[in-house]
Every structure is written in structure tokens, then in C-alpha cells.
């Protein structure tokens, strides 16, 4: 099997080519061979500059998803980018397609960058409950400033090639074929006597109109207000803050510590589950079946919220508890869409006061109703997998992505604990809380919904 990274010489230019279809992902073999190619080029006395480009439709588009959830294999990407930046010969990254995640971090570690005018760049790790862990939080603010770094790292959305150039992330736009454009620009750099230009040695530029500290404070407040309970966005902000206060070596240490915190977060596991569940569901889920599953489960969710109000909680209390849990859509908004009215429902104030001190109790019943009905739907073969149910509620009913979906949440809580709570609700609130037979069976067999999916 040939190496996914090859290098050759074009005169005094070492041309390093990554060819790892379909998206040139940064698997262990690519990382190892990339480092080896740069080392070989640096040791060749004839080489004056290293040019990095990718075959196919895109530059490196991120990590290799086949390595998600597995122990890291050396060389890890932070070590690769640290080595690339420290090389004593100038390097040029020639970007095209989707330059995302670790791909952008590799580019930032190179000394010069040009980009095809139709390309985009981004650091979407926050969407997987992570932060850019290979220097992205330290190098991007030094090149583009804190405001742009916050936008890209905390927001997770890509920007265009033109925006990247205007922000100082890349040096020039090009059209046409990457290798030809790269060789032409490399010749210009050599003619100008270009030397290594390390992003990590730059100072974070001052903000325009306010201080960097004010930008960081405002973003932190915005995240706490709009994304309460989310773990990784606040760690992203802390990492960017480190870039403004620490030299690169210490900033990278801080970034690594924050990255490892994110890796240990249950939210990261939930978001990774969501990522794979959406990919799997897109292949097989029938749209009509999705509507059937979603509406049937939503009725149980709405009913429990309505019963809580009938028992004495206020609409505001139930809404607040579910918002704190992370639900984007109020059950009462769903009620109103379906034509039902709550005007006649009046709670008992004394009970509402008691419930106010137990927000978890308020969200538990609507959410556990989803879990129980989801188990019934699986038992009846209306949905093929628990992960399909998760996707339906994540994409159509406002279930928070950082909790992974109702069935994933049940696995995270532990099915024995879920079953015990359902039995208590059954005893307290009636027959509609009878635990689903599938849930009883999985607990008896010591299995999870995820394990059931794998067997099915």
C-alpha cells in the first residue's frame, strides 16, 4: 500500500502531496508521513522551501472520523503542528476546497498560505463538544485577532476565502490548479528571500473599538445567556484568552489542558453520538416514519408538561426547567401549534412553590416520557434504531444536541436508574407510566440502547 503522503523536488522546492481520499483526513498514517516528508525536506541541502498541497477536491478537511473514540496514536496532531512551525526552511500551504479543523491548524503552522478563491476555512470542533486542540486557539487569534477567532472557534462556522484573506489568515487568493498556483507563489517567495514566518511568534493584535478583554467578557456572557450549560464554548473562550496573555508554549499547554477537559465531558460523547447518528439515519430513515415517531413521542412529552401544570406547577416553571435542560421548543408552544389551549388550566399555588425548588423533577417527567415511549416504538419496530429516534428529536423537536437525544440520554443516565424512576412514576401517576417491555428486558440483560442498535 502506497503512502498517503509523497514528496518530490521541483528544483529547490520540496513538493509535499497528501493523497488520502475522499477528504484527505488527518489519520495517523497521514500525520506520520507528513512529518517524515517535512523532516526529509529539511535535511535535503538542495531544498530552499517546502510546498504542501493536497490531491483531489479538497485540502485536509479535518480529522479521520474512523479514529473518533479511540486512543490517540503518535504522532498526535499538536506535536505535528508544533514541529511544522519550528522547521528552519520556509513552508507554504496551498489551500483549496474545505479547509476545516485540523486541516486549518496544519495550514496555520505553515509559514505562508494561499487559498483558492472558492475555498472556505473553519474550526468546527465546538460542534463536537471540543475545541481546536492543535494550536488553532493560539495561532488564529495572533493572525486574525480575537473577534474573528471568537467568531470562528466559538461559533464553529466556516468563512470564505476572501474573508480569510481580509482577516490575515492567508496571504493571497488564487484561481486555477493548486500545484501550479503554489509553485508560482513559492517562486515569488524565494525571489523575495522569504524566511520562516511563524504564526506563534506574532502578538495578538489589539481590538478595534474595544479591548480584547472586553470582547472576551462579552462573548462569555453571551454564551452563558444563549447556551446555558454548554461546556466546550466556554473552554474555547478560555483558550483564546490564553493566547492574549501567554507566550505560545504556555498557551499551547493551556489549550491542551482545556482540550482534555472537553474530551472527558459527557457533552462531547453526546455530540459525537449525534454526529454519527445523523450520518447513519440519513441513509435509511423514512420521512413518513420519522413524522409518525416524532408526533407520537411528542404527544407524551406534551401530556406530561400539561399534567405538571394541572398538578400545580406554573407554565413558566415547566418552561424554565425544560429550557435549563436545554430544550429549544416549549411543550406549550407545541400545544398551541396543534390548536390546543392552556387558558383553562390553573395550577395550585402551594404546589407550585414546592415544585420551584425541584427543577430536575419538572424536566424529568416530560423527558422520561419520551424515553419510555421511544422504547415502545423500538419494540414495535416502527423505528429501526434508538439512534434514529435521537436524530428525529434532535432535528425536529428541539432536543439539545449536547445531550445526544432521548435514547442516548437514557444510556448516559443508566437504564437501571431510568427504569427505577419509571417504576416510581408508574406507582405515583398511573398506568400510562408502565415501563416499556423493551426497557425491562434490556435492564435484565445488562444492555444499553446502543448495544441493542449494534445487534439489530
The 10s digit of each residue's pLDDT in 398-450 is 898 889 999 999 999 999 999 999 999 999 888 889 999 999 999 999 999 99
Distance from C-alpha of 451 to C-alpha of 286, rounded to nearest angstrom: 22
CATH of domain 274-453: 1.10.1040.50
Count of beta carbons in the 10 Å neighbourhood of residue 86: 12
Q: Span 250-275, mean pLDDT?
A: 92
Residue 435: Cβ within 10 Å count? 21
Distances (CA, A) of 395 to 152, 237, 262, 292: 23, 27, 24, 14
pLDDT tens-place string over residues 185-232: 999 999 999 999 999 999 999 988 889 999 999 999 999 988 888 899
Band of residue 339 on the pLDDT scale cut at 50, 70, 90: very low
CATH number for the region 5-264 comes to 3.90.226.10
- The confidence score (pLDDT) of residue 349 equals 40
pLDDT of residue 320: 86
The residues carrying an active-site annotation are: 105, 125
* Of 212, 268, 210, 208, nearest in space to 242 by CA: 212
The full set of domain ranges for the chain reads 5-264, 274-453
Cell (9 digits) for 230: 454548554
Query: Would you say residue 66 has pLDDT above 90?
Result: no
Q: Are 129 and 198 in contact (CB under 8 A)?
A: no
Phi, psi angles (nearest 5°) of residue 358 = -135, 65
Report the Cα 192 to chain-centroid distance in Å. 40
Sign of the CA dihedral running 401, 154, 238, 196: positive
**Cell 486512543, located at residue:** 71
pLDDT tens string 22-62? 999 999 999 999 999 999 999 999 999 999 999 999 999 98
**Predicted pLDDT of residue 82:** 97
**Cell numbers that stand for 303 in this block:** 401530556
Identify the DSSP state of 95.
E
Amino acid at each position: 500500500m502506497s503512502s498517503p503522503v509523497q514528496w518530490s523536488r521541483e528544483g529547490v522546492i520540496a513538493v509535499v502531496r497528501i493523497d488520502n481520499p475522499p477528504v484527505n483526513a488527518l489519520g495517523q498514517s497521514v500525520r506520520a508521513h507528513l512529518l517524515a516528508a517535512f523532516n526529509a525536506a529539511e535535511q535535503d541541502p538542495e531544498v530552499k522551501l517546502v510546498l504542501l498541497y493536497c490531491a483531489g477536491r479538497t485540502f485536509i478537511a479535518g480529522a479521520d472520523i474512523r479514529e473518533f473514540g479511540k486512543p490517540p496514536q503518535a504522532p498526535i496532531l499538536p506535536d505535528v503542528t508544533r514541529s511544522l512551525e519550528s522547521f528552519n526552511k520556509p513552508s507554504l500551504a496551498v489551500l483549496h476546497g474545505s479547509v476545516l479543523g485540523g486541516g486549518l491548524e496544519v495550514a496555520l503552522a505553515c509559514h505562508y498560505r494561499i487559498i483558492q478563491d472558492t475555498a472556505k476555512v473553519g474550526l468546527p470542533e465546538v460542534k463536537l463538544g471540543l475545541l481546536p486542540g492543535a494550536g488553532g486557539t493560539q495561532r488564529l487569534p495572533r493572525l486574525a485577532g480575537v473577534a474573528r477567532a471568537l467568531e470562528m472557534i466559538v461559533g464553529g462556522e466556516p468563512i470564505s476565502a476572501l474573508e480569510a484573506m481580509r482577516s490575515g489568515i492567508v496571504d493571497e487568493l488564487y484561481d486555477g490548479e493548486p500545484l501550479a498556483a503554489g509553485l508560482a507563489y513559492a517562486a515569488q517567495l524565494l525571489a523575495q528571500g522569504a524566511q520562516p514566518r511563524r504564526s506563534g511568534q506574532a502578538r495578538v493584535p489589539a481590538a478595534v473599538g474595544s479591548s480584547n478583554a472586553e470582547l472576551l467578557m462579552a462573548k462569555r456572557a453571551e454564551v452563558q445567556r444563549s447556551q446555558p450549560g454548554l461546556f466546550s464554548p466556554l473552554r474555547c473562550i478560555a483558550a483564546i484568552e490564553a493566547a492574549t496573555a501567554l507566550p505560545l508554549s504556555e498557551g499551547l499547554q493551556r489549550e491542551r489542558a482545556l482540550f482534555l477537559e472537553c474530551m472527558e465531558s459527557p457533552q462531547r460523547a453526546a455530540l459525537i453520538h449525534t454526529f454519527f447518528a445523523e450520518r447513519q439515519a440519513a441513509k435509511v430513515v423514512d420521512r413518513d416514519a420519522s413524522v409518525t415517531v416524532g408526533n407520537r413521542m411528542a404527544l407524551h412529552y406534551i401530556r406530561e408538561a400539561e399534567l405538571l401544570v394541572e398538578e400545580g406547577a406554573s407554565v413558566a416553571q415547566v418552561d424554565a426547567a425544560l429550557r435549563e435542560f436545554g430544550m429549544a421548543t416549549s411543550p406549550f408552544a407545541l400545544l398551541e401549534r396543534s390548536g390546543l389551549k392552556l387558558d383553562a388550566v390553573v395550577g395550585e399555588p402551594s404546589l407550585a412553590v414546592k415544585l420551584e425548588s425541584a427543577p430536575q423533577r419538572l424536566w424529568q417527567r416530560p423527558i422520561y416520557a419520551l424515553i419510555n415511549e421511544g422504547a415502545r416504538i423500538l419494540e414495535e419496530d416502527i423505528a429501526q434504531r434508538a439512534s434514529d429516534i435521537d436524530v428525529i428529536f434532535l432535528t425536529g423537536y428541539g432536543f439539545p444536541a449536547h445531550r445526544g437525544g432521548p435514547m442516548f440520554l437514557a444510556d448516559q443516565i443508566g437504564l437501571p436508574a431510568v427504569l427505577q424512576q419509571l417504576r416510581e412514576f408508574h406507582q405515583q401517576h398511573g398506568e400510562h407510566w408502565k415501563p416499556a417491555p423493551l426497557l425491562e428486558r434490556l435492564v435484565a440483560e445488562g444492555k444499553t440502547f446502543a448495544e441493542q442498535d449494534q445487534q439489530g
